[in-house]
Amino acid sequence: MKKTVFLFPGQGSQAVGMGQDFYQEFDFVKEIFDMAEEIAKINLSKLCFNGPLEDLTATVNLQPAITAVNLACLAAIEKEGIKPDITAGHSLGEYSALCASGVVSKPDTFRLVFKRGLLMHRESTKHKGAMQAIVGLPIDAVQQIVAEAQQDGVIAVANHNAELQIVITGAPDPVKKAASLAVSQRARAIPLKVSGAWHSDLIKGAEDEFTDFLNTFTFIAPERPVIMNVTGALVENPDAIKALMAQQLCSPVKWYDTICKLIEDRVEYFVEVGPGKVLTGLLKKILPKDYPCKIYNINSMRHLEQFFKEIT
């Protein structure tokens, strides 16, 4: 098979019904959900398959739920002996990428994302936050706008998703001011439905506790390379990976840099493993039109069967 990356989505990719056909098809997927439910003490299968969406989207539920679907999709691919050459995940999805690369076990992945969700939820109830997507300006222009808006409170870049698609995060007033400044420069500003200012100092209160929690786990050197959100670069040292996962809570997600690194490495198969099509959509914005590659989105049995048919 050609050089392949598995990309794992994070929050924002959820939908009621996600993962259900895999659950009905494979006993090993039921086992993944059972494991996640035992660790989180949440009926994740009911939430994923029946909703309601509002409850599913609550970050304390959503983090283990999306991770369960990501790892279910991954297991369905791996049952045919297919492994990636590289992995990467967007924010929460980075934990699935680490699992896929053998850095952490499935049970430890669920323990980590559940704790992460609890701490993020706790901080979001203490500090009201907002996020908006700025479309149409490069990163330097957005960083300049963010610096100007910092006079009004906490604000930062959360995600550099594509060259001209950047998410800002922080307290409502400075985020609103930055959005207005972006619009004055002919960009679009799109408010996001979130319950907290993720990847900002407004959840900094979770960082030390989460770092202490992370340090109780053993990270193993990856079986295949992982591109990290914080750096947008390959990292192989397990202690360095662990340190970056502690920073990831309040640091920007360098997704554009991640995809540029994959292009530089001449990856030819891009496979989004998990619910939704968010990462597939971003790929189409980033990849040069003449770049030789195939993009796959595996979130259903139909997509899985099509993938197997095309690559074998």
What does the pLDDT look like over 152-190, one tens digit per residue? 999 999 999 999 999 999 999 999 999 999 999 999 999
Query: How many C-beta atoms lie closer than 10 Å to residue 135's C-beta?
Result: 17
Q: Are residues 50 and 87 in the same domain?
A: yes
Query: How many C-beta atoms lie closer than 10 Å to residue 290's C-beta?
Result: 5
Q: Are residues 72 and 137 in the same domain?
A: no
Query: How many C-beta atoms lie closer than 10 Å to residue 296's C-beta?
Result: 20
The catalytic position among 13, 45, 91, 251 is 91
Q: How many domains does the chain have?
A: 2
Report the distance separating Cα 221 and Cα 123, nearest Å.
31
Q: Are residues 100 and 239 in the same domain?
A: yes
The catalytic position among 13, 101, 199, 300 is 199
Last residue of a domain, one of 193, 210, 234: 193
Q: Are residues 270 and 299 in the same domain?
A: yes
Q: Which two tokens stand for residue 30?
A: 């039921």
CB-based contacts of 154, cutoff 8 Å, min separation 6: 127, 170, 171, 174, 197, 200, 201, 202
Q: Are residues 206 and 278 in the same domain?
A: yes
Report the distance separating Cα 106 and Cα 67, nearest Å.
10
Q: Are residues 66 and 189 in the same domain?
A: no
CA–CA distance from 202 to each of 131, 165, 239, 249, 270 (Å)?
12, 22, 26, 10, 34
Q: Are residues 86 and 57 in the same domain?
A: yes
Which structural domain range is residue 162 located in? 130-193
pLDDT digits (tens, 9 = 90+) for 6-58: 999 999 999 999 999 999 999 999 999 999 999 999 999 999 999 999 999 99
Say what the pLDDT of residue 30 is.
98
Q: What is the CATH number of the domain that holds 171?
A: 3.30.70.250
CB-based contacts of 130, cutoff 8 Å, min separation 6: 169, 170, 171, 172, 175, 176, 191, 192, 194, 197
Say what the pLDDT of residue 52 is.
97
Say what the pLDDT of residue 19 is.
97
Say what the pLDDT of residue 1 is.
74
Which pLDDT band holds residue 311 (cuts at 50, 70, 90)? confident
Last residue of a domain, one of 145, 171, 193: 193
304, 41 contact by CB (below 8 A): no
Q: Are residues 152 and 240 in the same domain?
A: no
Q: What is the CATH number of the domain that holds 206?
A: 3.40.366.10
Residue with tokens 């430890």: 108
255, 160 contact by CB (below 8 A): yes
Q: List helix spans (H) across 134-220.
A: 139-149, 172-184, 207-214
Asked if 199 is an active-site residue, the reply is yes
Q: Are residues 255 and 286 in the same domain?
A: yes
CB-based contacts of 280, cutoff 8 Å, min separation 6: 270, 272, 295, 297
Residue 107 pLDDT more than 80? yes
β-bridge pairing 130-135 and 165-170: antiparallel
Q: Are residues 101 and 38 in the same domain?
A: yes
Q: Are residues 93 and 139 in the same domain?
A: no
Percentage of residues in the chain having pLDDT higher than 70:
100
If you average pLDDT over every residue of the chain, what do you get? Answer: 96
Q: Are residues 116 and 259 in the same domain?
A: yes
